[in-house]
Structure 1
Amino acid sequence: MEDHYYRLSKEGAWGDQGDGTYVNPVLPGDYSDPDVIRVGENYYAISSTLHCSPGMAVLHSKDLVNWAMIGHVVDELTRIGPEYNYDRMNRYGRGVWAGAIRFHKDKYWVYFFTPDEGLFMSTAADPAGPWEPLHQVWAVSGWDDCCPFWDEDGQGYFVATNFADNYNIHLFKLSEDGRELLNDSDTIIHQYKGSEANKIYKINGFYYFFHSEVRLEEGVEVRVVMMLRSEHIYGPYEEKEIIHTHGKEIDREPNQGGLVQTASGDWYFISHQGMGGYDGRPLHLLPVTWIDGWPMIGSDTDDDGIGEMVWGGRKPINGHPPTVLSTYDDFDSVALEPYWEWNHQPRADKWSLTERPGYLRLHACRPIEKGNFFTVCNVITQRSFRTVHNAATVKLDIGGMADGQEAGLCHFAKTYCTIGVHQQNGTRVLKFDHAGSIEWGQVLTGSTLWLRSEWNIDGINRFEFSVDGVHYASFGYAYQLGWGNYRGDRIGLYSFNCESEQGYIDVGQFGYEVARSGE
């Protein structure tokens, strides 16, 4: 094995190490279903967002290691369908699935399927936005994992999986404007159990179809990463496995992702990996070596021409600062920062950055179903990262609360846990709620409250509160952050009222401290 690749890394290490090397993951949070392109000296990636709004995250990097979110493709999930709206919230684990980003005719193009509503696309002159209003290409269910491709003659093609029909992979021609599939061109080019993660490339005169599928290896079903290759787009195709996967506990199954070539000619693979943990499916970077016209992902440890997972290496490009995940938001901007996403489509008249400048005002909404936290609208969230130390602190003005209102800080995925305030009969009381198991705390007489969540690398979370911003006290009991609905844990803010739509809180500050790699 080459000396600049190493398979194991210090627990909790991630990203840029500051010495010309990096450790996987390069982003220790839920950036699922990535795809990546290079335009000039810039790299752009997208990541699926499922039921979160805005949808389809867009990221930027200069070196493939240090990434920052710069926007979203889908401004409103209701452009997809009504089930995403705050009055239904019926798309947990569905919504914006894996897609692809390409640069064509001086524009950025993104295509993706939702499993229920069909195929959508949008374009933009700037990947940070604004993106054109979402266009529904095809109203259909049971399809996913798509990718467009434009050949040298200008003809566009499109590949996708019909998972509802035995995981057949289909190839279509695109209309000239890229807004329609030419259905009479539909051709099935491959089929195998669990086929997904489709990408199409043309490299050195060959067409390459990247995908993954489920195969039996050493008596165990694992997801394997495959490549098809042909001199003609309709085949016939040769097939090769390009990286061994040994299961989630060993290599976390690199799967969805994309190939990208640097300006210097080196190749890399951006992928997500995951074990069903609270960090979701973090972003990883693996080297690619071409052998006899086939890409090999990772490192060839047994000389069989098939790659193995590596956990770090030399940075592709030096000279760019390390990613800083820690953030401090005082809500002085005219728009929310890209790292904020709502649980489903929020109710627009129940939040504001302008009613009280310098604050995020969250009005209380009545839940769809009383006692069901997952039907509380306007829960605003961020990804929970997996590092050795993580802490989120929020400063709240609770003076505008009304009887029946609850508001505070939360974690949620499959289950939920909150620390907040419940007002009744004019009295505000501290409240801890773990999936309906409730503890009551002290009466709060002031109008300012600080709430804090701290968790370690194992995702063991504890809540704290303060009435002066200096002295904090623990409240509630330890909560295990988790995974659910194909999402890692989200940390967020909530405000609801089961009795009436009265009351609000003002969020003055939200600080999120995340340990640098190896700290």
Structure 2
Amino acid sequence: MNVNPITRLDYPDPDVIRVEDTYYMVSTTMHFMPGCEILQSFDLVHWEHVTYIYETLDHTDAQQLKSGQNIYGQGMWAASLRYHEGRFYICFVANDTRKTYLYTSEKIDGPWKKQLIEGFYHDGSLLFDEDGRNYIVYGNDEIWITELNEDLTAPRKDGLHRLLVSDHKNPELGYEGSHIQKINGYYYIFLVHSLRDRWMRTEACFYSDSLEGEFTGGDVLCDDRGYCGQGVAQGGIVDTPDGKWYAMLFQDSGAVGRIPILLPVTWKDHFPVFGQNGHVPEEIEVHSTRPGYIYQPLVGSDDFRNGLLPRWQFNHDPDPRYYHLDALQGTYTITTREVCTELTQAVNTLTQRMSYPSCAAEVTVDASALKEGDVAGLCALQGCYAAVGITKHHGKYEVLMLDKKEDGILDMTEGTVVESHQIDFRLEADFCNMKDEARCYYRVNKGDWLPIGTVHKLYFKLDHFTGCRFGLFCYAAEETGGSACFRDFKYYDVDEIS
């Protein structure tokens, strides 16, 4: 069957393992909290949320959006997920703190114990060898291996430390995204890099029968699935209970983010062969270890009557003093904490991933408690964001669109005065073939949807380094203490958009 892209959502840098009949996947969550999400599946195609590893990471001022600081484009990324002798291990770095974190738990849903590993290991991958020795493989351009001590807190004194492979002076992207696995006595390192003559994400693999020996290999997949020249790469491989092998990689897909791609792996002379004839096949045969299992959706509508569902993440650390969930009323309320110049500085913005190839969201906002200059509404959250909102201007309510351009200039449409303090907002996004456009609408008293502003161009850029998300926001431009109340959030995917 045609299964790709997997999830249709921004789950980059996947690392997948199997424990008995269950597959687990970890993915990058960057500056969103809670963070380091774990998904589970029984067929490698359909996935659901299991847990987050942490509610907040180090609670720094930047992670809390305090004093004008932030961790956009930083936070945790490229985690390594392992299961060893009855315990789960997750290792990752955070680029804002420049630390390497290790979380461990006997159960996948926690509780998770946090510790640090001395040093900074870019895109690190853990290896627990059969002789009881522990290693981490990491790096950019140059891929290194460092032996860790028994309690995984630091490099082992006089332990193995050596360069494995290098991709020096690649003008596009040198080797990174390490995944090391030991299979049938051989050590395999899966890496991503780009072709040297143009940007094209490419998967590579090197192997050896000894960590001290020469690693040989090369590129194993250079294919864009016919999609906009965006290569499929970065990830490892996993076996099924019946002995088949698959790779879980990802593909850059424009503003919606980086989406997982599944493909079969076979073997020839102890070396993995990715896909069919060098390409990701359109049809892939998969089998479920639990046929008929019903998965919980990763994104969707919410009436806010069941607590904060795991499909939501805050933009940066939340501040519980300034938001309130009322299950009885079915509302989520944000109170402004400090004066901001724009919505990316606003605390307690609540987000969900957008989905490929198109999606839409609607929400009702009660603006009766806004203060002068406050803005609240629905956004397409990224560096170059689009938003539709309501503000209080000279005591009157006005609807407006916020349009953050690629050059950093923020345009606001001239406010349209409305008589009601309760407004419905709608935001549509089209990511098909990297069209990457958003449109904003509003309505009063459940009337017709009215467009506002212009079609907004979305981008995937390194300033945020994440796919675009729906966001519920409220920020103060003049004085703090105002609030906005959100209810009846509705999420539509491509099949539901009229």
- Please confirm whether the aligned pair reaches a TM-score higher than 0.5, indicating the same fold: yes
Over 3 Å counting, the alpha-carbon distance change for 1:184 and 1:506 in structure 2 is farther
Mapped to 1, the partners of 2:194 and 2:412 lie a distance apart of 43
The one-letter amino acid paired with 2:101 is F
State the number of aligned residues: 478
Map of 2:162 onto structure 1 = 187
Aligned match for 1:385, one of 355, 359, 370:
355
Across the aligned residues of Structure 1 and Structure 2, the Cα RMSD in angstroms comes to: 2.6
Over 3 Å counting, the alpha-carbon distance change for 1:205 and 1:355 in structure 2 is closer
Do residues 55 (structure 1) and 35 (structure 2) align? Answer: yes
Q: Secondary structure at the match of 1:144?
A: coil
Aligned match for 2:370, one of 401, 417, 442:
401
Mapped to 1, the partners of 2:496 and 2:46 lie a distance apart of 12
Map of 1:330 onto structure 2 = 303
The one-letter amino acid paired with 2:402 is D
The one-letter amino acid paired with 1:331 is F
Mapped to 2, the partners of 1:508 and 1:125 lie a distance apart of 38
Over 3 Å counting, the alpha-carbon distance change for 1:355 and 1:324 in structure 2 is closer
Q: Secondary structure at the match of 2:58?
A: helix
Q: Is the 8 A contact 1:171 1:188 kept in 2?
A: yes
TM-superposed deviation, 1:441: 4.2
User: Over residues 375-427 of structure 1, what are the superposed CA-to-partner deviations in whole Å (9 max), with x where a residue is unaligned?
Assistant: 2222221111122x411011222222222211001113231111111113432
Aligned match for 2:191, one of 181, 205, 211:
211
Q: Is the 8 A contact 1:35 1:46 kept in 2?
A: yes
Over 3 Å counting, the alpha-carbon distance change for 1:312 and 1:118 in structure 2 is farther
TM-superposed deviation, 1:182: 2.0
Map of 1:147 onto structure 2 = 125
The one-letter amino acid paired with 1:36 is V
Map of 1:376 onto structure 2 = 346
Map of 1:363 onto structure 2 = 335
User: Over residues 147-179 of structure 1, what are the superposed CA-to-partner deviations in whole Å (9 max), with x where a residue is unaligned?
Assistant: 111122322221111x3xxx3222122232333
Q: Is the 8 A contact 2:208 2:215 kept in 1?
A: yes
Aligned match for 2:145, one of 167, 171, 176:
171
Over 3 Å counting, the alpha-carbon distance change for 1:145 and 1:394 in structure 2 is same
Q: Secondary structure at the match of 1:392?
A: strand
TM-superposed deviation, 1:373: 3.4
The one-letter amino acid paired with 1:263 is P
The one-letter amino acid paired with 1:313 is I
Map of 1:455 onto structure 2 = 429
Aligned match for 2:454, one of 477, 487, 509:
477
Larger mean CA deviation between 411-420 and 40-49 belongs to 411-420
Mapped to 2, the partners of 1:452 and 1:136 lie a distance apart of 43
Larger mean CA deviation between 247-256 and 413-422 belongs to 247-256
Do residues 353 (structure 1) and 296 (structure 2) align? Answer: no
The one-letter amino acid paired with 2:493 is V
Aligned match for 2:208, one of 209, 230, 243:
230
Mapped to 2, the partners of 1:245 and 1:97 lie a distance apart of 24
The one-letter amino acid paired with 2:303 is D
Map of 1:241 onto structure 2 = 219
Over 3 Å counting, the alpha-carbon distance change for 1:323 and 1:478 in structure 2 is farther
TM-superposed deviation, 1:136: 2.4
Q: Secondary structure at the match of 1:349?
A: helix
TM-superposed deviation, 1:492: 0.4
Q: Is the 8 A contact 2:190 2:204 kept in 1?
A: yes
Mapped to 2, the partners of 1:75 and 1:260 lie a distance apart of 28
> TM-score when scaled to structure 1?
0.85
Q: Is the 8 A contact 1:50 1:97 kept in 2?
A: yes
Map of 1:14 onto structure 2 = none
Q: Is the 8 A contact 2:304 2:327 kept in 1?
A: no
TM-superposed deviation, 1:76: 0.7
Q: Secondary structure at the match of 2:232?
A: coil
Q: Secondary structure at the match of 1:278?
A: helix
Over 3 Å counting, the alpha-carbon distance change for 1:236 and 1:100 in structure 2 is same
Aligned match for 1:124, one of 102, 105, 108:
105
Do residues 434 (structure 1) and 403 (structure 2) align? Answer: yes
Q: Secondary structure at the match of 1:77?
A: coil
The one-letter amino acid paired with 1:32 is P
User: Over residues 198-227 of structure 1, what are the superposed CA-to-partner deviations in whole Å (9 max), with x where a residue is unaligned?
Assistant: 1111111111122223443xx546443222
Structure 1: gaps (5+ residues): 1-20, 301-306
Q: Is the 8 A contact 1:78 1:345 kept in 2?
A: no
Q: Is the 8 A contact 2:76 2:92 kept in 1?
A: yes
Over 3 Å counting, the alpha-carbon distance change for 1:250 and 1:449 in structure 2 is closer
Aligned match for 1:492, one of 458, 471, 489:
471
Map of 1:156 onto structure 2 = 134
Q: Is the 8 A contact 2:12 2:27 kept in 1?
A: yes
Larger mean CA deviation between 348-357 and 37-46 belongs to 348-357
Mapped to 2, the partners of 1:503 and 1:355 lie a distance apart of 21
Q: Secondary structure at the match of 2:77?
A: coil
Structure 2: gaps (5+ residues): 169-173, 405-409
Aligned match for 2:62, one of 76, 83, 90:
83
